[in-house]
Amino acid sequence: MKRGGWGDFFATSMNLWQYILKRLLSTIPTVFGALVIMFILTRILPGDPVLMILGPAHSSPENIAHMRKVIGMDQSLPVQFLRYLGRLVQGDLGYSWHTGNPVSKDLIMRFPATFELTTCALILMVFFGLPLGVIAGYYRNRMPDNIINGITVMGISMPSFWLGLLLIYVFFFRLDIAPPPMGRLSAEVSAPPVVTGLLLIDTLLNRNLSAFLSTVHQLVLPAVTLAFFNLAIIVRTLKADIIDTLKEDFIRTARAMGLSQKRVLFKHALRNALLPTVTMLGTIYGFLLGGAVFTEVVFAWPGVGMYAVESIQWLDYAGLQGFIIFYVFIFTIVNLLVDISYRVIDPRVQFD
Amino acid sequence: MDHKKGGLFMKKERMFGYGMILLLILFGMNSTSLAQSGEVLRVAFSADARTFDPGVVTRDYTGYAVIGGIYDFLVQYDLKPNKDGTFTTDTTKFMPMLAERWEHNPDMSEWTFYLRKNAKFHSGKPVNAQAIKYTFSRYIKIKSAASTVLVLAKVTEQGIEVVDDSTIKFKLQGPNPLLLDYFQMLSLGIQDPEAIEAHGGITPEKPNDWVAKNDVGSGPFKLVSLQPGVEIVLERNEDYWGPKPKTKRVIFKIIPEDSTREMLLQKGDIDILWLPPAKDYEVLRKHKNLKVVGDPSIRTTYIDMNRNVPPFDNILVRKALCYSFPYESVTKNILYGRAVQMTSPVPKGAPSHTSEYFPYKHDLKKATELLKEAGHPNGFSFTFQLGEGRIANNKEIAVAWQAELKKIGINMTIDVLPQAAFLEKLRAKNIPIFMIAWTSFVTDPFYQLLFLLGSKSFCNYADIKDAKIDGWIDKAVPEVNRDKRYAISKEIQKYAADQALWIYMFQPIFDTAMNKKVQGFCFNPDDQFHMKTVYVEK
């Protein structure tokens, strides 16, 4: 009987749902722990947000007392925390004073931008990282490996904001082939009505080809920046595992059976060496979804990373707390997906 | 191992190659630009606006700029045209806006404003006396920043009297010769009562979230679209009662990164870059497509000393410190010449300002003598506290001063605090010596002097308690005669220099970098961007 693959995967789906439920329940203590730590940490940050809100000229004692009351800071810390939890259970993340919106609305509005950018970067990473990793492993310590090594190390050693600025300078400022780095859509095309928030999809739903192309155009540089920065991690992880896998008996068997080199490498070796790389991809993905902070700032990309930075600058407690909860949530989901994907890649993995 | 040609790279790899070519084609497409049509003005700001509610806005440059466009005010400052087509705000002369004319009783405690009859809110409803009463009452009820302004202006809810549709009377709590200065402030934009009532109305002590993100004004621009973190778009109000702005569409682009903003400006993708860093002044100025215009601001930037804390209680020590500061080298080298010397607690550009009492210059010999005289021949040590961020290059300035102090035996430790922590310590008035900047929202000398030197002020962070200064302020603030007020202001300026209360550092020049095609820029002594007169030439 053929094992593995999607058929087998769905055969165990009852098991799978139980597993997902169990995993989701087990995140509750994690989220709670993160909440407590973050609540304390934001309060330890030096400074008083009320003074930041009011500014020196309006900081009369009456105004300060009033503003404290408005943002609920007149209560003791435990009371504030309980109040916050109470609202959180009802799905209320509080009110961000630096944007003037409910935090949940801010995050929902900004997440598609980050999601689109990060997913494109992830696709680029997989698209380039997997072949490069396999090739590097195969040609270990020879010219192709050295070249790949050089390129990826260069990527990871450049700070991403600097790489972003460099790409803007070369491709926009000097060569004029990249669009102005002003967010997700060129100023000349009008935005499609929001359906998913993902412009790549919304523009197509709206049958607006020029807006779609503009979206792709705007995505290229920031996605390349993100992907290039994280490429080294993927390539190196994969390379090490390819090297190990190539020493295994089943590879020798496959070769002995006369399979082509390419088939041996990309079908047999790659699939068996993939698990650690997928874990790594999942971690990077979760990490980036939480906001590719520097890249977003450099490209004026209105995502959650920029939101987090602004929240810290303005000592916006609600914004910061909301962001952290969101981050924990995203990480949990991505980890869960990664674990499930193990099962698809390697049928020997059991859910328990 | 045989893996030469064709082994590893076959069909799929060719597909990969095609993919790359496609990507390059997409990448290489250059979108056509319709930007230079003269109809659009694109301005880059570093942060998004937090609110468009004039009553609530504080410390939000983007918010202020938009409010200045979508709202009308009772009165406005006059604009003086300059030879090169730019304008300068003249803060000594008031022009009608929603009020056509006004009058007051002799002691300036009762003011009557006669409104123009043709002003309409963007909803089409008329701007009348009831709307003004509603707006001001709302500001007082929601207890926002504007309520502070109204308290200072001595306006109370009970004292606002609607005489008829186009006449409104303010019975103030006392004489206020500066009422017009307050009424032109961005905090007191006039709002559409019906629009607010239709969207939540007034809740005491709570701002209205809908008003914060919508346009309930009657100004020369209308808010047409809003994408948080991306852009704010305004369009000319074609039904405006007054002279219409020259620009049809103003787009505020939110670009957080300095270098990105500058590249966009140089390439012509934005027209105006507001407040570029001083270090980039020369580069931008020399660029063939750009010009940089700048005017000294009224932002006084100085070092304040708490006279209750030794050694700063000693006037000779304070004087020695005044002589130790490297004034010229700071403005020239650290601020790239984009600042002018501050010479008085009343800024250059404000009425009654005078430089004549400023005796200090960088003179270490004199500083050493004064230190000896003060009983500190071997110097002393102290910690100098700064807030992160608000004052450009403040760390470099502190380091330059530190080097000078070292030469006269004074050991200074520099302590940089996060802005919020710094503000908190300032409020508690327990920092012995610190660097601070202050812009008055009314260019009256007493706005500056009362807030910063008056013993009862919560902004008198050095905790200056001086009966002489308090006496002068008490006499001058209700004084109706401008000349008398200004004479008292001069006395305080002299006293402040004699007493070496502060080390006067500088007033920065506020630069705006723009495309050469941008005309009609308006200089403002306050640090706000006004767009009514600005346009891009065809």
Amino acid sitting at position B344? S
Compute the distance between CA of residue B125 and CA of residue B463 in angstroms, rounded to an integer. Answer: 49
Q: Which residue of B has its CA nearest to A298?
A: B257
Give how far A20 is from chain B: nearest CA, Å: 35
pLDDT tens string B86-116: 898 888 889 999 999 999 999 899 999 999 9
| Tokens representing residue B282 in the block | 């020369």
Q: Which residue of A has its CA nearest to B233?
A: A187
Tell me which residue in B23, B264, B451 faces A180 most closely, judged by beta carbons.
B264
Question: What is the model's pLDDT at position A256?
Answer: 79
Range with the largest mean pLDDT of A67-76, A237-246, B173-182? B173-182
* A vs B: CB pairs below 8 A: 173
Cβ pair B1:A261 closer than 8 A = yes
Enumerate residues 6+ apart whose C-beta is below 8 A from B514.
Answer: B265, B271, B272, B273, B290, B291, B292, B293, B521
Angle at B330 between CA B287 and CA B348, to 5 degrees: 85
- A51 at the B interface (CB within 8 A)? yes
- Which of residues 191 through 250 in chain B touch A, CB cutoff 8 A? 205-206, 209, 212-213, 227-231
Cβ pair B255:A182 closer than 8 A = yes
Mutation choice for B interface testing from A63, A111, A203, A299 by most B CBs within 10 A? A63
- Sign of the torsion formed by the C-alpha atoms of B316, B318, B321 and B323: negative
Cβ pair B257:A297 closer than 8 A = yes
Cβ pair B47:A310 closer than 8 A = yes
User: Strand A95-96 relative to strand B221-227: parallel, antiparallel, unpaired?
Assistant: unpaired
Give how far B280 is from chain A: nearest CA, Å: 16
Question: What is the model's pLDDT at position A12?
Answer: 58
pLDDT tens string B509-523: 988 999 999 999 888
Residues pairing with B302 in the sheet: B436, B504
pLDDT tens string B9-18: 455 556 666 6
Give how far A30 is from chain B: nearest CA, Å: 30
Rg (C-alpha) for chain B, rounded Å, is: 27
Under DSSP, the state recorded for B372 is H
Identify all chain B residues contacting A218, using CB atoms and an 8 Å cutoff: none
Mean pLDDT rounded to a whole number for chain B:
87
- Which of residues 209 through 228 in chain A touch B, CB cutoff 8 A? 213-214, 216-217, 220
Enumerate residues 6+ apart whose C-beta is below 8 A from B384.
Answer: B303, B398, B401, B402, B412, B413, B414, B415, B433, B434, B435
Q: Given the structure tokens 């200065």, which residue do they identify?
A: B181
pLDDT tens string B117-129: 999 999 999 999 9
Cβ pair B229:A172 closer than 8 A = no
Q: Which residue of B has its CA nearest to A68?
A: B205
pLDDT of residue B73 exceeding 90, the answer is yes
Helices B145-152/B129-142 angle, 10° precision: 110
- A116 at the B interface (CB within 8 A)? no
Compute the distance between CA of residue B268 and CA of residue B35 in angstroms, rounded to an integer. Answer: 9
Question: What is the model's pLDDT at position B481?
Answer: 85
Identify all chain A residues contacting B438, using CB atoms and an 8 Å cutoff: 56
* pLDDT band, very low/low/confident/very high, at B4 (cuts 50, 70, 90): very low
- B143 at the A interface (CB within 8 A)? yes
Average pLDDT over residues B437-455: 84
Question: What is the model's pLDDT at position B10?
Answer: 52
Give how far B390 is from chain A: nearest CA, Å: 11
Question: What is the model's pLDDT at position B384?
Answer: 93
**SS3 track for chain A:** CCCCHHHHHHHCHHHHHHHHHHHHHHHHHHHHHHHHHHHHHHHHCCCCHHHHHHCHHHCCHHHHHHHHHHCCCCCCHHHHHHHHHHHHHCCCCCEECCCCEEHHHHHHHHHHHHHHHHHHHHHHHHHHHHHHHHHHHHCCCCHHHHHHHHHHHHHHHCCHHHHHHHHHHHHHHHCCCCCCCCCCCCCCCCCCCCCCCCHHHHHHHCCCHHHHHHHHHHHHHHHHHHHHHHHHHHHHHHHHHHHHHHCCHHHHHHHHCCCCHHHHHHHHHHHHHHHHHHHHHHHHHHHHHCCCHHHHHHCCCCCHHHHHHHHHHCCCHHHHHHHHHHHHHHHHHHHHHHHHHHHHHCCCCCCC
Question: What is the model's pLDDT at position B5?
Answer: 41
pLDDT of residue B2 exceeding 60, the answer is no
pLDDT tens string A295-328: 888 898 888 888 888 888 778 888 888 888 888 8
pLDDT tens string B214-256: 999 999 999 999 888 889 999 999 999 999 898 999 999 999 8
Cβ pair B418:A46 closer than 8 A = yes
- B8 at the A interface (CB within 8 A)? yes
Cβ pair A101:B209 closer than 8 A = yes
| Tokens representing residue A141 in the block | 């310590």
Closest CA to A97 of B60, B232, B143: B60
CB A290 within 8 A of CB A305: yes
The yes/no answer to whether this complex scores an ipTM above 0.85 is no
CB A325 within 8 A of CB A84: no
CA distances from B201 to A203, A326, B135, B142, B411 (A): 38, 33, 11, 11, 58
- A18 at the B interface (CB within 8 A)? no
Tell me which residue in A63, A216, A298 faces B148 most closely, judged by beta carbons.
A63
CA atoms within 13 A on the CB side of B339: 29
Question: What is the model's pLDDT at position A119?
Answer: 92
Cβ pair A57:B459 closer than 8 A = yes
pLDDT tens string A164-180: 999 999 999 888 888 88
- A69 at the B interface (CB within 8 A)? yes
Average pLDDT over residues B62-67: 92
Mutation choice for B interface testing from A58, A116, A210, A246 by most B CBs within 10 A? A58
Give how far B145 is from chain A: nearest CA, Å: 6
| Phi/psi at B395 (5° precision) | -70, -45
Q: Given the structure tokens 């004479």, which residue do they identify?
A: B487
Tell me which residue in A161, A169, A186 faces B263 most closely, judged by beta carbons.
A169
Closest CA to B445 of B476, B423, B474, B417: B476
Contacts 24+ apart (CB under 8 A), A8-14: A8/A347, A9/A343, A9/A344, A12/A343, A12/A351
- Which of residues 424 through 483 in chain B touch A, CB cutoff 8 A? 424, 426-427, 438, 441, 451, 458-459
DSSP 3-state of B119: coil
Cβ pair A99:B228 closer than 8 A = yes
Amino acid sitting at position B419? Q
CA B251 to chain CA mean position, Å:
20
Identify all chain A residues contacting B259, using CB atoms and an 8 Å cutoff: 165, 168, 298
- A148 at the B interface (CB within 8 A)? no
Compute the distance between CA of residue A178 and CA of residue A320 in angstroms, rounded to an integer. Answer: 33
Average pLDDT over residues B337-345: 92
Q: Which residue of A has its CA nearest to B425?
A: A47
Alpha helices in B325-438 (DSSP H): 327-329, 364-373, 394-407, 419-427
Compute the distance between CA of residue A3 and CA of residue A17 in angstroms, rounded to an integer. Answer: 20
Question: What is the model's pLDDT at position B48?
Answer: 87
Cβ pair A261:B2 closer than 8 A = yes
- A92 at the B interface (CB within 8 A)? no
Identify all chain B residues contacting A135, using CB atoms and an 8 Å cutoff: 8
Give how far A351 is from chain B: nearest CA, Å: 35
Return the number of other C-beta atoms located less than 10 Å from residue A86's C-beta: 10
Question: What is the model's pLDDT at position B6?
Answer: 40
| Tokens representing residue B348 in the block | 């250059």
CA distances from A47 to A272, A323, B388, B425, B434 (A): 53, 20, 12, 8, 17
Tell me which residue in B23, B263, B458 faces A172 most closely, judged by beta carbons.
B263
Where are any strands of DSSP class E within B82-146?
87-96, 99-104, 110-115
Identify all chain A residues contacting B441, using CB atoms and an 8 Å cutoff: 57
Average pLDDT over residues B486-500: 92
Compute the distance between CA of residue B52 and CA of residue B280 in angstroms, rounded to an integer. Answer: 31
CA distances from B268 to B261, B402, B463 (A): 11, 42, 49
Higher pLDDT, B330 or A91: B330
Least confident of A13-27, B293-307, B460-474: A13-27
Cβ pair B33:A188 closer than 8 A = yes
Q: Which residue of B has its CA nearest to A185?
A: B230
